[in-house]
Amino acid sequence: MKKSFLLSAAVALVYSQIGTIQAATDKEVEVVHWWTSGGEATALKVLKDDMQKRGFGWKDSPIAGGGGDQARTVLRARVASGRPPEAMQMLGFNIQDYAEEGLLGNLDSIASKEGWDKVVPAPLSRFSKYNGHWVAAPVNIHRTNWIWANKEIFDKLKLTPPKTFDELVAVADKIRKAGYIPLAHGGQAWQEATIFDSAVLSAGGPKFYKQALIDLDPKALGSKTMEKAFAQMQKLRGMMDPNFSGRDWNVATSMVINGKAAMQIMGDWAKGEFLKAGKKPNVDFLCFQYPQTEGSFTFNSDQFAMFKVGDDQAAGQMQLASAIMDKGFQEKFNIAKGSIPARMDVSGDNFDACGKKSMADLKVALKNGSLLGSFAHGHAMPESVKSAVYDVVTKSFNNLQVTPAQSVQQLVKVVEDSK
Ligand code: GAL
């Protein structure tokens, strides 16, 4: 009698545990993202932990590949087969594309309850909202026109951050003569495009960048100034080691961290790698703007877009959106990630020198119109035009036989054809 009672109690316990597991799975949110490097994973953990505290499981669906090209391809396939995740890391125009297809959910209720409109700057919410409705929650503001440098090499060779492109060429010469690789780079289209953001800004300034890469004005695209940008790219190519092909961006960052290479031109997610390796700004590494881009800000904002799913899952999506927009989260996450908050009301006190500089420059750029969407990261032009321009940039970069004048001609043509 006693035995059978124990047995049925045990069975009941097992069932109740299954019930709990079931409930936990129901309260799970699947998130597709490409944050797989050391720094990226550390930052993402802040969000995973916050979701757990809110009582939701995190179904992690990472798709490796910096810049997110692979993740976007996988997402396309999943959407085509009717299996979109609840949430997906997305950038700029890509958010608008999915919204236009009617696939994204509506976050207006949580956005108005929490007053997102008051704290998210318009150049960001322009991508988070579609037809006036919130469809994505912005996590951060990254900046692409940075150079990351190994301070020990700079000190040893008595170098200071170059202010002009010619100075950068001279600095690179000295570094090469001293036996280091001047520029660490990973030969992937998005990384070349990231450098191109800076080269265009440096060659022509913020107004030119806007005319060419945002307004897609054929005159600007076909100009001598644009030739200068391609010429800079080809010069930069000469500062790299011969093995850059296919190298991941974080491997290139580690070359700077370890003192094999002196500099990397990369968005401030690179800072996440330095921090993860225990390095400190202005002690172990330097951060400064690509020459002749000081004060301008090419931005890239990671957002989480929520797909239209059943009512059961919507609760989890709202919690995720709310967790992302939490002030404390935005501070903690962005300190680890290398970016700055997407909310304008987070104090910069706890950010390091590079973060503080970015926050100060952002405020100025917002006022004087030099806050510009990054071409490389989908914030300047629609996706279809972007991929056509990517091709022109990588062709020029990987084949020095193609002259800057030829690249400019191709640029005008592909933009015209894909508009
Ligand atoms: C960008 C993304 C960043 C960073 C980078 C490298 O597209 O916006 O957050 O992670 O890719 O993976």
Span from the CA of 159 to the centroid of ligand 1 (angstroms)? 29
Res. 24: pLDDT tops 90: no
Span from the CA of 376 to the centroid of ligand 1 (angstroms)? 10
Span from the CA of 301 to the centroid of ligand 1 (angstroms)? 9
* pLDDT tens track for 106-164: 999 999 999 999 999 999 999 999 999 999 999 999 999 999 999 999 999 999 999 99
Res. 17: pLDDT tops 90: no
Residue nearest to atom 2 of ligand 1 (CA): 67
Span from the CA of 16 to the centroid of ligand 1 (angstroms)? 42
Residue nearest to atom 6 of ligand 1 (CA): 66
Span from the CA of 5 to the centroid of ligand 1 (angstroms)? 57
Q: How far apart are CA 23 and CA 21, in angstroms?
A: 5
Span from the CA of 337 to the centroid of ligand 1 (angstroms)? 10
Mean of pLDDT values over 19-34? 70
Residue percentage of the chain with pLDDT more than 90? 92
CATH number for 143-299+370-418 (one of 3.40.190.10, 3.30.70.120, 3.40.50.300, 3.40.640.10): it is 3.40.190.10
What pTM was estimated for this model as a whole? 0.93
Instruction: Return the best residue to mutate from 190, 269, 301, 377 for the ligand 1 pocket (most ligand atoms within 8 A of CB).
Output: 269
* pLDDT tens track for 43-92: 999 999 999 999 999 999 999 999 999 999 999 999 999 999 999 999 99
Span from the CA of 167 to the centroid of ligand 1 (angstroms)? 29
* pLDDT tens track for 354-413: 999 999 999 999 999 899 999 999 999 999 999 999 999 999 999 999 999 999 999 999
Ligand 1 atom nearest residue 36's Cα: 12
Residue nearest to atom 8 of ligand 1 (CA): 302
| CATH class assigned to 29-142+300-357 | alpha beta
Span from the CA of 68 to the centroid of ligand 1 (angstroms)? 7
Ligand 1 atom nearest residue 40's Cα: 10
Q: Domain spans of the chain? A: 29-142+300-357, 143-299+370-418
Q: What lines the ligand 1 site, CB under 6 Å? A: 34-35, 40, 66-68, 91, 142, 249, 269, 300, 302, 377
pLDDT band of residue 312 (cuts 50, 70, 90) is confident
Res. 12: pLDDT tops 90: no
Residue nearest to atom 1 of ligand 1 (CA): 67
Instruction: Return the best residue to mutate from 37, 300, 379 for the ligand 1 pocket (most ligand atoms within 8 A of CB).
Output: 300
pLDDT band of residue 9 (cuts 50, 70, 90) is very low
Res. 23: pLDDT tops 60: no
Instruction: Return the best residue to mutate from 33, 70, 140, 142 for the ligand 1 pocket (most ligand atoms within 8 A of CB).
Output: 142
The pLDDT, as a whole number, for residue 311 is 84
